[in-house]
Amino acid sequence: MADDPQKATSDFLDQSEIDKLIAQTVETQAPKTAVLGVAGDLGAATKIEAYDFRNPAFLSEAELRRLRLLHEDFIRYLSARLSLFLRMEFGLKMAKLTTVTYSKFCESLPNPTHLSLFKVEPLTGVGILDINPRLALTIADRLLGGRGHSVKAERYLTEIEIALIEDVIVVLLEEWCAQWKTEQELRPLIIGHENNGRFLQTSPKDAIVLALTLECNFGDCSEQLQIGVPYYTIEPVVKKMQARRQKDTAVTPVARRAEWQAAYDRITIPVRAEWQAVELSVREIASLRVGDVIEMPAALCHDTRVLLSGTAKFVGTVGLDTDHVAIQLTRKLPAEEFSHAKSDGRKVS
């Protein structure tokens, strides 16, 4: 049995009804931004920043700034020490300090080059020192008594030349470790030499490396030198540095004790004792004569207010000490009580 054609036609919507439904849906739904790991709506104050997943950075700008300051000190001290060691001006300048993956760091190493692998005891991991062969040969020539002229040859270093520049590399690593002595004592150790960075496997490919590039000027030779240290190697000392910085910048209020100064000895202030005795009308005050007695309650003697320079500061008990009237202070008035008092000792209503 066939379906009713009229009923089948009523199940479909025409174009005008579809447009109305779409318009209602757009009006009732507020625009939302979907962010992985964030539930709910994001307001206008939300700031979205670009992130390069191919070049991740585990150090913030503030941390990199502190490391940059530390390595600037390292460069300054190293330049002076190498100049004394080689008896010739050795200029150093920071070209770049950044974080890259280990695979990218190895790809950036030139060929030919000379690589020294080193460890820093007691930390884990292996660092890489990349020195340009022309610079290394110029240093070796100077150590052999030469004038330090730039060597134009582009070749790998011989075993004798490696042994010569190893003393300079030890000086460089000792100075780098000395910059961390505030956090921890470190000892450098050279564990090997390579001439090609393509086959290095000292760290995982995705490990983050702190890479420092230096511009070296030695005589007429101007070349670059690179130091790459895995982040997991220096992470313990970086955390100690951050903890010390936070401790140094934390403000701890120190309560200063009041101390008597010799200059206070000659300062005089008026002292007055008052009572809130009785209230009299103007007529009663005008009718007072010499010899009249005003009755006051006996408990009033224990509620004597002592005013210093017109301000009520203490409460005491009045009495006699031989032939003098004296007041024994019993308590100090709170600051909020005497700060709102008039010069006559009465409170402001």
Domain that holds residue 103: 61-247
Highest mean pLDDT among 107-111, 224-228, 262-266, 301-305: 224-228
- pLDDT of the residue at 190: 94
- Res. 4 pLDDT band, cuts 50 70 90: low
Asked if pLDDT for residue 311 goes beyond 70, the answer is: yes
- Res. 345 pLDDT band, cuts 50 70 90: very low
Looking at the structure, tell me whether residues 341 and 236 fall in a common domain: no
- Res. 261 pLDDT band, cuts 50 70 90: confident
Looking at the structure, tell me whether residues 234 and 308 fall in a common domain: no
Structural domain includes residue 128: yes
Looking at the structure, tell me whether residues 228 and 329 fall in a common domain: no
Looking at the structure, tell me whether residues 97 and 196 fall in a common domain: yes
- Summarize pLDDT for 146-186 with one digit per residue, the tens: 887 887 777 888 899 999 999 999 999 999 999 888 888 99
| Cα separation, 291 vs 226, whole angstroms | 104
Q: Which of 221, 247, 273 is the last residue of a domain?
A: 247
Structural domain includes residue 310: yes
Looking at the structure, tell me whether residues 177 and 241 fall in a common domain: yes
- Summarize pLDDT for 264-293 with one digit per residue, the tens: 778 888 888 887 777 778 888 888 888 888
Quick count: other Cβ atoms within 10 Å of Cβ 143?
Answer: 16
- pLDDT of the residue at 117: 95
Looking at the structure, tell me whether residues 124 and 212 fall in a common domain: yes
Q: Which of 247, 264, 284 is the last residue of a domain?
A: 247
Residue type, 115: L
> What is the rounded average pLDDT of the residues 312-330?
83
Looking at the structure, tell me whether residues 189 and 319 fall in a common domain: no
Residue for token pair 């062969």: 133
> What is the rounded average pLDDT of the residues 213-240?
91
Closest to 121 measured CA to CA, from 192, 47, 186, 197: 186
Helix axes 61-86, 231-249, angle to 10 degrees: 110
At 102, phi and psi to the nearest 5? Answer: -60, -40
Structural domain includes residue 271: no
Structural domain includes residue 44: no
Looking at the structure, tell me whether residues 79 and 199 fall in a common domain: yes
- pLDDT of the residue at 8: 47
Which of 6-10, 26-30, 72-76 shows the lowest per-residue confidence on average (mean pLDDT)?
6-10
The secondary structure of 311-322, three-state, reads EEEEEEEEEEEC
Asked if pLDDT for residue 250 goes beyond 80, the answer is: no
Structural domain includes residue 190: yes
Looking at the structure, tell me whether residues 230 and 348 fall in a common domain: no
Structural domain includes residue 311: yes
- pLDDT of the residue at 195: 87
Looking at the structure, tell me whether residues 184 and 303 fall in a common domain: no
Closest to 131 measured CA to CA, from 107, 96, 104, 166: 166
- Summarize pLDDT for 288-302 with one digit per residue, the tens: 888 888 777 777 778
Q: What is the maximum span of the chain, computed from C-alpha positions, in angstroms? A: 131
> What is the rounded average pLDDT of the residues 214-229?
92
Structural domain includes residue 48: no
- pLDDT of the residue at 305: 85
- pLDDT of the residue at 58: 58
Structural domain includes residue 228: yes
- Res. 85 pLDDT band, cuts 50 70 90: very high
Asked if pLDDT for residue 189 goes beyond 90, the answer is: yes
**Strand partners of residue 225:** 131, 214
Looking at residue 197, which CATH number applies to its domain?
Answer: 3.40.1550.10
Looking at the structure, tell me whether residues 91 and 230 fall in a common domain: yes
**Percent of the residues in the chain that have a pLDDT greater than 90, as a whole number:** 30
- For the chain, the domain total comes to 2
Which carries the bigger pLDDT value, residue 80 or residue 329? 80
| Cα separation, 170 vs 131, whole angstroms | 13
Looking at the structure, tell me whether residues 177 and 319 fall in a common domain: no
